[in-house]
Structure 1
Amino acid sequence: MDIIESVKMATTTLMANKLRSSLTMLGIIIGNASVIAMIGIGEGAQKYVTEQVNSLGPNLLFVIPGSPDAQRRPVVPPLTLVLADAQAIAQQVPSVEEVAPTLNDSQLVTYRSNNASSSIIGTTPEFLSVRSFDVARGRFITDIDLKRQENVVALGSEIAQRLFGDVEPIGKYIRIKNNTFQVIGVMQPKGSSFGDNQDMNVFVPLTTMANRIVGRSSPYGIRVTFISVSVKDESQMKAAQFQIENLLRLRHKITKDDDFTVRNQQDLQNTLGGITGALKLMLAAVASISLFVGGIGIMNIMLVSVTERTQEIGLRKAIGASRQDILIQFMIEAVILSAAGGAIGTMIGIGGVMIVGTISPLQAGVSPVAIALAVGVSGGIGLFFGIVPARQAAKLDPIVALRTA
């Protein structure tokens, strides 16, 4: 029998039982839609993580207080980094471009009757280039502000809007922990980074932050929360990390366990990317169970169909149809059911991914390869689960089949 003729006959047979065919395809539709949606959302999550890490700044290293093994065993205090450490890194590590120490705290910021809780970032002028921030209006902190411990602030775009509304904030005064600060600048919108809204930050000179807001100091100088380090070139990241670790060990007179940790931006991205990738595979694997269930549904319906069409099979064999013709006929029907269900499920899945991309920050999308793979797997499932009923139909003896009818 001609393959084209078999496809036409299979299509006609399936269309004659539209409700049954639709219900049979339902499992495959749900399975494909789930797989496509999970893959798309997973890829969107990976892109989101990459963007979040890159938004921190180019070629970054983070020096934070505390041993890398602090979670496994206690480390003798004090766990401290100071401003002098940051200055030493900037001056003595040749592969470093710029260094931005920061001292963080959360405080209530007030302007007249308006107030908002904000992250107060005590830092230096280098913070702008190291962390890829831009000033929209006014100016940022300068070295003179640091030396004089000036009470000046640069506001994130969102907190500026909350406190001042449509009023120009430059030159106005706000209150932070019973201190008055003059607004000298407003930052460009930056967005969120790992759940932290960067546009709600308030930036003050590091020296002012240490002495007038948090009062955090040590015998070795001004303590900092962490140090951001911009490396000249991506190829020098490992060398810079090694040099910084050696320098700080010398400065802190370390003989055993480090009291600091140097984190590589690329390592952070790889770690988070690995986590999101594993989650994507896990979700896709769970969703694939629906495809398996849908395949079983196809096999069950095809077995029922063989029983119902016993007379048809007997007549076709009596007029010359071979076992191979009957086998191909039923396998084509199973493949059409699964492939059609796969195509419909893929469209539904793509639609779901587009909706997620619209209502969430995830740039969800599905590659053509994933779509082709999903539809191909659906067809393969139909072929696999269609073999048993097709073989059963092909084995029917025409005389027995006609007698049974």
Structure 2
Amino acid sequence: MALATLRANRMRSLLTMLGIVIGNASVISLVGIGQGAQNLAERELGTLGANVLFVVPGNNDTRRQGINRPRTLVLEDAVAIAEQVPSVRRVAPQIALTEVAQVGGRSASTTVTGTTAEFLPVRRFEVARGRFISTEDNRSARNVVVLGPDIKDTLFGPARAIGQRVRLRNQSFEVIGVLAAKGAVFGSNQDENVYIPINTMVNRLSGRDPTYGVSLTFISVEARDEDSVGAAKFQITNLLRQRHRILREDDFAVRSQQDALTIVGTITGGLTLMLAAIGGVSLLVGGIGIMNIMLVSVSERTEEIGLRKALGARSGDVLGQFLVESLVLASLGGVAGATVGLAVVTGVGRFSPLPASIAPTTVLGTVLVSGSIGLFFGVIPARRAARLDPIVALRSL
């Protein structure tokens, strides 16, 4: 009977369901895209390694004041961590500067990272051609450079880069290696960076501060294994507090992959919840539309209701009839909206770099919520129909 009633007013039924369809599609697609953002962040963080720590300069006050890289980490700190922290396997100090790389008539802005041979195993990078910076390169402060694959293609195209020269701030560097593709981390494309020995960086580009010494951008640290991460974080913190003579707030921070995952999960979870709430507003509007159209339906079918009650139908029978109609209307809209939402999530996951996905329980829950909205907003029209006096209702016949 409910389906027959909906077919009798097809256009009105379709327009009424449209709010539920849009609401369900919005919730499912937005939650799926939000989950995709979290999956992408976790995947990028996973490339860092589960037992990698990052020691960064500054504290919350300096970051709030907009100080980009306070001089609170120096090269001697990295040396001390490598020599005095037993739970640490390797340490890779890093100095990063933005420079213009030139080869003939070609040029490109790039991040130049001065580091050591330990950078490669600590950060899980691989060399595609040639070799990486060696300990001897650092000791002799040689003018050698290792290119990311994207910057190599920009500067040399398909031509061979090994053995060629690249200019950085009017200094000539010999290309000794090209890294394998690594991708982006936190929106920064690692394949566009170039790497030189840290001593070369200090002597040729960044310089040495007479007061602070060699200031570092950050220090990458590899713990002995995943179980040693907590101990390494604790020991590094204590060592640097002693070295920096800290009594109150630290002037550095030690971050692990799990810390980053927690922060990213909190941010993306909050954004996903907000997006779902925005989509839920459409469901609310759709529910109000169902209530409105059901009230119109009650007014149009007054005679039918009066006749049913005159023939013995109880108020509960009429109430159930109209509740079923609103439930069917909302459920059909929910299924249609879920189908559209799943199509959007599938399309985003297939044709964009965002690995969007949605759990089946979320889809089922959204459809059930839309059905519940139909019941909730159908109660008032159904109660109004059930309370009609059959004598009054039959007067218009």
Q: Smaller-chain TM-score range?
A: over 0.9
- 1:197 corresponds to 2:189: yes
Say which of 314, 318, 334 aligns to 2:306: 314
Residue of structure 2 in register with 1:61 after alignment = 53
What does residue 348 of structure 1 align with?
340
**In the alignment, which residue of structure 2 is the partner of 1:122?**
114
RMSD over aligned Cα atoms = 2.0
2:349 corresponds, among 332, 346, 357, to: 357
Equivalent residue for 1:290? 282
Displacement after TM superposition at 1:237 (Å): 2.2
State whether residues 46 and 273 of structure 1, in contact with CA within 8 Å, keep that contact through their aligned partners in structure 2.
Answer: yes
SS at match of 2:94: strand
Secondary structure of 2:276's aligned partner: helix
Residues 1:79 and 1:140: Cα distance change in structure 2 (over 3 Å): same
CA distance in structure 2 between the partners assigned to 1:238 and 1:333 by the alignment: 59
- Rounded to whole Å, the distance in 2 between the matches of 1:80 and 1:15 is 73
Whole-angstrom distance in 2 between the partners of 1:155 and 1:242:
35
Partner residue, 2:164: 172
Query: Could you tell me which residue of structure 2 aligns to residue 279 of structure 1?
Result: 271
Q: Which deviates the most, 140-149 or 264-273? A: 264-273
Closer/same/farther in 2, CA of residues 258 and 319 from structure 1, 3 Å limit = closer
Cα deviation code 1:315-359 (max 9, x no counterpart): 222333332222111111100110000111111111222233234
State the secondary structure of the residue aligned to 2:382. helix
Q: Say if 2:91 is the partner of 1:91.
A: no
Matches within 5 A, 1:4-403: 9-71=1-63, 79-218=71-210, 221-403=213-395
1:109-158 alpha-carbon deviations (Å, 9 max, x no partner)? 11111111110011111111111111111111110111111111110000
Q: Percent identity?
A: 55
Name whichever of 275-284 and 371-380 sits farther off: 275-284
- Relative to the length of structure 2, the TM-score reads 0.95
- Give the aligned partner of residue 3 of structure 1: none
CA distance in 2 between partners of 1:35 and 1:260 (Å): 41
C-alpha distance in 2 between matches for 1:299 and 1:153: 69
**Bigger shift: residues 54-63 or 40-49:** 54-63
- Once the 2 structures are TM-superposed, how far is the Cα of residue 314 of structure 1 from its aligned partner? 2.0
State the SS of the aligned residue for 2:27.
helix
CA contact (8 A) 1:64 1:227 kept: yes
Which range moves more in the overlay, 350-359 or 305-314? 350-359
> Do the aligned partners of residues 318 and 119 (structure 1) sit closer, same or farther apart at CA in structure 2, a change above 3 Å counting?
same
On the 8 A contact 2:99/2:169 being kept in 1, the answer is yes
Q: 1:326 to 1:257 in 2, by over 3 A?
A: closer
Helix, strand or coil: the match of 2:93? Answer: strand
Name the amino acid aligned to 1:96: V
CA offsets 1:17-43 (integer angstroms, 9 cap, x no match): 100000110111111111111111111
Separation (CA, whole Å) in 2 of partners of 1:142 and 1:129: 12
Task: Tell me, in whole angstroms, the C-alpha distance in 1 between the residues paired with 2:8 and 2:17.
Answer: 15
d(CA) in 1 for partners of 2:212, 2:87: 25
CA contact (8 A) 2:29 2:345 kept: yes
Tell me which moved more, 252-261 or 133-142: 252-261
DSSP 3-state at the match of 1:189: coil
Post-superposition shift, 1:223? 2.5
The amino acid across from 2:283 in the alignment is: L
2:151 maps to amino acid: I
The letter of the residue matching 2:294 is M
**Letter of the aligned partner of 1:61 in structure 2?**
L
Give the CA deviation at 1:53.
2.2
8 Å contact 1:210–1:217 — kept in the other structure?
Answer: no
Q: Which amino acid aligns with 2:332?
A: A
Counterpart CA distance in 2 for 1:382 and 1:83 is 66
Q: Structure 1: which 5+ runs fail to align?
A: 1-8
Aligned residue identity for 1:123: T
Using the alignment, how far apart are the partners of 2:162 and 2:241 within structure 1? 43
